[in-house]
Amino acid sequence: MAFCPIFCCGNGSDRKGRGKKQPPWRVFSLKELHSATNNFNYDNKLGEGGFGSVYWGQLWDGSQIAVKRLKVWSNKADMEFAVEVEILARVRHKNLLSLRGYCAEGQERLIVYDYMPNLSLLSHLHGQHSAESLLDWNRRINIAIGSAEGIVYLHNQATPHIIHRDVKASNVLLDSEFQARVADFGFAKLIPDGATHVTTRVKGTLGYLAPEYAMLGKANESCDVYSFGILLLELASGKKPLEKLSSSVKRSINDWALPLACEQKFSEIADPRLNGDYVEEELKRVVLVALICAQSQPEKRPNMVEVVELLKGESKDKVSQLENNELFKSPLAVGNKNDGISAAEGSSDFISEEKESKHETEENTEP
Ligand SMILES: Nc1ncnc2c1ncn2[C@@H]1O[C@H](COP(=O)(O)OP(=O)(O)OP(=O)(O)O)[C@@H](O)[C@H]1O
Ligand SMILES: [Mg+2]
């Protein structure tokens, strides 16, 4: 199937002035991207994800780019590419990583973004920058609010609305000022107006998946809210979304944090790399918001507009309502003195290796 871009407004052929506003994105030639990335040299590789590899590059004008080189051996990949191109080309917000251009030549499908010099949240929490402790509390709270605002834009302002479906630490990139830019809308599908959810392939990353999405493949905004809750806990605690307890059992970060929150032991949740240097009220708010987001019943989760409001702590009433939420009075959680393990066993987030491997093969719930 020949690749056919959904948009024509970004075509680079009409970029030479003539009084027209320059399009925000353009088509790159394969030659230009080969030369920018030193022929997709291994040393330029930033990492690899579900769709392919990402390379650092530099254009002739000195600007730095990140090029996602997609695996294109199936028609499905062509479709994914078209979807991502269309969605990204539409979306512009200070907390979203927008598309700078694309290239579709021969078998190659590439997407070009601005390079984010501070890489991803993942690299600071668990990766190459984790030892440097560059994420002080102020940066963390800004990243929390900024990324929430990016998702609010996707859910409420983008037309049609967009469900991200893959909110996670490697998809929150950090610019030179450590401002959050939520990336990767390759999983997102456009929600037709009036539809409350779309049933489709279960995608996303283990540990961040809302239980109803993992089981039924029903994606709506509240699945992103769940993933965002996991991301917030990760940001506050520095822990990974899933912790291996034994060779066959993993515990989710929310099952670990809920009993501690019920007992008001917020300092035990805080990332030790913060060395106690955080605003107690803010940490508590972040943790409570995170747990409200990452609860298993989707109808009880807040929406992202409410999440931003709560994170900012602007309404004292809403913050105190949050503290009094029934979730934090759960006898299951409070009674659990076992580091969250017994509570976790009954929950849908408690994943055995067997279930995990099933998820990794991607369930297709479509007929
Ligand atoms: N514009 C960018 N600037 C800097 N680093 C980037 C940029 N885009 C992606 N990366 C990094 O490159 C690596 C690979 O990204 P990629 O999106 O392919 O995989 P992923 O985020 O781990 O998984 P997924 O495919 O689910 O998004 C990640 O660590 C990501 O944070
Ligand atoms: Mg990514």
The domain spans of the chain are 5-114, 121-358
**Residue list for the binding site for ATP:** 68
Residues 6+ apart with CB under 8 A from 260: 266, 268, 269, 340
* 173 CA closest ligand 1 atom index: 31
Rounded Cα distance between 221 and 165, Å, is: 9
Mutate to test the pocket of ligand 1, among 46, 48, 64 (most ligand atoms within 8 A of CB): 46
313 within ligand 1 shell (Cβ under 6 A): no
User: From atom 13 of ligand 1, which residue's Cα is the shortest distance away?
Assistant: 47
Q: Which residue has the tokens 């402790």?
A: 133
The per-residue pLDDT for 74 is 54
Residues 6+ apart with CB under 8 A from 288: 261, 322, 323, 325, 328
* 52 CA closest ligand 1 atom index: 18
What CATH number belongs to 5-114? 3.30.200.20
Q: Which CATH superfamily is domain 121-358 in?
A: Transferase(Phosphotransferase) domain 1 (1.10.510.10)
**Tokens linked to 218:** 């029903």
- Which position among 166, 184, 271, 349 bears the catalytic label? 166
How far away, in angstroms, is 51 Cα from ligand 1 center?
A: 10
User: From atom 8 of ligand 1, which residue's Cα is the shortest distance away?
Assistant: 66
Rounded Cα distance between 10 and 22, Å, is: 9
How far away, in angstroms, is 309 Cα from ligand 1 center?
A: 29
Rounded Cα distance between 118 and 178, Å, is: 7
How far away, in angstroms, is 271 Cα from ligand 2 center?
A: 24
Q: How many other CB atoms sit within 10 Å of the CB of residue 166?
A: 23
**Ordered alpha helix ranges (H), 169-298:** 211-216, 221-237, 253-262, 266-269, 280-293
The ligand whose atoms approach the alpha carbon of 111 most closely is 1
**Tokens linked to 50:** 């579900």
How far away, in angstroms, is 115 Cα from ligand 1 center?
A: 10
Rounded Cα distance between 185 and 98, Å, is: 10
Rounded Cα distance between 174 and 162, Å, is: 21
* 65 CA closest ligand 1 atom index: 1
187 within ligand 1 shell (Cβ under 6 A): no
The per-residue pLDDT for 174 is 98
236 within ligand 1 shell (Cβ under 6 A): no
Known catalytic residue at 14? no
State pTM to two decimals. 0.83
308 within ligand 1 shell (Cβ under 6 A): no
47 within ligand 1 shell (Cβ under 6 A): yes
80 within ligand 1 shell (Cβ under 6 A): no
Can you give the pLDDT of all 367 residues of the chain as single tens digits? 444 444 443 433 333 334 445 456 888 999 999 999 999 999 999 999 877 899 999 999 999 999 999 875 555 566 666 666 766 677 889 999 988 888 888 888 898 999 999 999 999 999 989 888 899 999 999 999 999 999 999 999 988 788 888 899 999 999 999 999 999 865 555 344 445 555 555 556 779 999 998 888 878 899 999 999 999 999 999 999 999 899 889 899 999 999 999 999 999 999 999 999 999 999 999 999 999 999 999 999 999 999 999 999 988 899 999 999 999 986 555 444 434 343 333 343 333 333 333 333 333 333 3
